[in-house]
Chains A and B, each alone.
With several copies, the nearest count.
Chain A
């Protein structure tokens, strides 16, 4: 699935729910599908700043593509991380760096999330894009 396709699917999923409760339960469920980061990568370096809860994010570069694993000590946060990872993981650095991320806005998440959460989400996206840019320039330099 392309980044766009995965985003559209999340948007479609969300449209099924009228109730905030159901949306949250969906997010929490997504958290359970998050590819787990290995304990050794839960370092201070891998903590994303800007979240009230802790988020660790790790990137693996394999066959020209970036794969992300992550974790959080808060389950809703974990669900949000999971969405971002599902959208962006398994793509080339260039695809990730160039990606236009619109699903957050489309599903109205920003209106539902506290500014602390939104900032956290943005910080996460930024971090992923930074990884992508780093690997991209690394690739170019070779």
Chain B
């Protein structure tokens, strides 16, 4: 399920050992051990990430950047160190190309607004794909409407793969930016983003990569991809809520107008003339999410320690196991059967409503997600109201997949 990925040879992780560091994985739901298969919505947190937050608030909570006092210096140093960690993690050439955001959605909105206001004119267009999350659709719809521009869409085939042949026609001279997800949160499809970037760059069109479902599963090297903008969320990569990252090439970020105004993003303010700050602060107005950036840094350390290549290998095997196991269920059909897939598996069973199935699974302690997963257009493509989605993380086990399959079988009996 990863033919065209360049995978560093990873080794299988000792999952049982790693699970021990996740407090929530030790809990029960309705008296049954929690089987958490909703990792695409958000991942659970290892103890050290939680401890980083507790430690910050208990030992050195302070506002950053402008303080002379000890706590402020300590908080500032930790906050900025996280930026270095993230930069190293994604191999950003410059630390100041890492902008802290509230999450993927925030990052996309920043670019949609700042890029759109500067570069989009009537008749221009933005190119997205048919399998995007609402967060990578609506911001573009909004700015396109504002500027009189058009939203164009890379179509998808019935396996859930982008129809790459259409790309050359779509990438016409009206296109000012391509925004595409690396991994689909609904279908699990891993898009050939490197190829998309190459082909867009041939026509000098910049590309934004929504890596919300990639950065925790796949080695992400912004230089190797040559991506112009990359966005992702802390809470989906074992970090806290309320924090995300926008990577942008220095040249682009310097050219774009700032997004929000306020403290920190300015060099000097007067009622007559206000000068904006340099990167990264130009895009970080107001008090940052300090506890969150620090804890995100710890999550990145954690991922570096266990190794993304190893995570990728471990998850790849579990994914294949899950697909095989689910195939044993009568009437089950997968929604999304792309050649390259990761993390998320969507399916339906006969005419059972996903909501019913999800509810009966829940009562057995199994957490999956049901519905459109914030990707309504792809539901419309398949003409379905929603799917049941199981999404894995490296800490999931084959036993948990077995429980999922048994749980589904039990639910099907009840619901048929």
The answer on A and B forming one complex is yes
A115 touching B73, Cβ below 8 Å? yes
A40-79 residues with Cβ-Cβ distance < 8 A to B are 52-54, 73-77
A53 touching B363, Cβ below 8 Å? no
- Expressed in whole angstroms, the Cα–Cα distance for A53 and B362 within the complex equals 17
User: Which A residues touch B360, using CB under 8 A?
Assistant: 24, 76
Looking at the complex, which one of B352, B353, B363, B371 makes contact with A21 (CB distance below 8 Å)?
B363
Q: Is B9 an interface residue (CB 8 A)?
A: no
User: Which B residues touch A52, using CB under 8 A?
Assistant: 68, 355, 370-371
User: Which B residues touch A100, using CB under 8 A?
Assistant: none
Of residues A24, A74, A77, which shows the largest number of chain B Cβ atoms within 10 Å of its Cβ?
A74
Given contacts A25-B414, A53-B353, A74-B353, contact A114 B385 (CB under 8 A): no
Looking at the complex, which one of A20, A24, A75, A117 makes contact with B353 (CB distance below 8 Å)?
A75
- Expressed in whole angstroms, the Cα–Cα distance for A54 and B77 within the complex equals 23
Q: Is A28 an interface residue (CB 8 A)?
A: yes
Of residues A54, A77, A115, which shows the largest number of chain B Cβ atoms within 10 Å of its Cβ?
A115
Contact pattern, A 71-93, Cβ under 8 Å of B = 1, otherwise 0: 00111110000000000000000
Q: Closest residue to A73 on the B side, CB-wise?
A: B353
Of residues A25, A73, A75, which shows the largest number of chain B Cβ atoms within 10 Å of its Cβ?
A75
Q: Is A116 an interface residue (CB 8 A)?
A: yes
- Expressed in whole angstroms, the Cα–Cα distance for A74 and B415 within the complex equals 9
A53 touching B355, Cβ below 8 Å? yes
- Expressed in whole angstroms, the Cα–Cα distance for A77 and B72 within the complex equals 19
User: Which A residues touch B385, using CB under 8 A?
Assistant: 53-54, 73
Contact pattern, B 65-99, Cβ under 8 Å of A = 1, otherwise 0: 01111001100110010000000000000000000
Of residues A25, A73, A116, which shows the largest number of chain B Cβ atoms within 10 Å of its Cβ?
A116
Q: Is B250 an interface residue (CB 8 A)?
A: no
Looking at the complex, which one of A54, A76, A115 makes contact with B356 (CB distance below 8 Å)?
A76
- Min distance, Cβ A17 to any Cβ of chain B, angstroms: 13
B68 touching A114, Cβ below 8 Å? yes
A94-128 residues with Cβ-Cβ distance < 8 A to B are 114-117
- Expressed in whole angstroms, the Cα–Cα distance for A52 and B354 within the complex equals 10
A20 touching B30, Cβ below 8 Å? yes
A20 touching B363, Cβ below 8 Å? yes
Given contacts A76-B356, A76-B359, contact A28 B414 (CB under 8 A): yes
- Min distance, Cβ A24 to any Cβ of chain B, angstroms: 6
Given contacts A53-B353, A73-B385, A75-B353, contact A116 B414 (CB under 8 A): no
User: Which A residues touch B362, using CB under 8 A?
Assistant: 114
- Expressed in whole angstroms, the Cα–Cα distance for A73 and B351 within the complex equals 9
B76 touching A115, Cβ below 8 Å? yes
- Expressed in whole angstroms, the Cα–Cα distance for A74 and B386 within the complex equals 12
Given contacts A21-B414, A114-B73, contact A75 B356 (CB under 8 A): yes
Q: Closest residue to B67 on the A side, CB-wise?
A: A114
- Expressed in whole angstroms, the Cα–Cα distance for A60 and B75 within the complex equals 40
- Expressed in whole angstroms, the Cα–Cα distance for A116 and B371 within the complex equals 12
- Min distance, Cβ B133 to any Cβ of chain A, angstroms: 18
- Expressed in whole angstroms, the Cα–Cα distance for A24 and B359 within the complex equals 10
Given contacts A21-B363, A52-B371, contact A116 B68 (CB under 8 A): yes
User: Which B residues touch A115, using CB under 8 A?
Assistant: 73, 76-77, 80
- Expressed in whole angstroms, the Cα–Cα distance for A55 and B385 within the complex equals 13
A28 touching B73, Cβ below 8 Å? no
Contact pattern, B 352-379, Cβ under 8 Å of A = 1, otherwise 0: 1101100110110000001100000000
Identify 21 residue pairs between A and B in the complex whose beta-carbon atoms are under 8 Å apart, listed by A's number: A20-B363, A21-B414, A24-B363, A25-B414, A52-B371, A53-B356, A53-B385, A73-B353, A74-B353, A74-B355, A75-B352, A75-B356, A75-B415, A76-B356, A114-B68, A114-B72, A114-B362, A115-B73, A115-B77, A115-B80, A116-B66
| 9 new A-B contacts at CB < 8 Å, known A21-B414, A52-B355 | A28-B414, A53-B355, A53-B385, A74-B353, A75-B415, A114-B72, A115-B73, A115-B76, A116-B66
Interface residues of B (CB under 8 A from A): 30, 66-69, 72-73, 76-77, 80, 352-353, 355-356, 359-360, 362-363, 370-371, 385, 414-415
In the A-B complex, the 9 residue pairs with the closest CB atoms: A74-B353, A114-B68, A74-B356, A53-B355, A76-B356, A74-B355, A52-B355, A114-B73, A20-B363
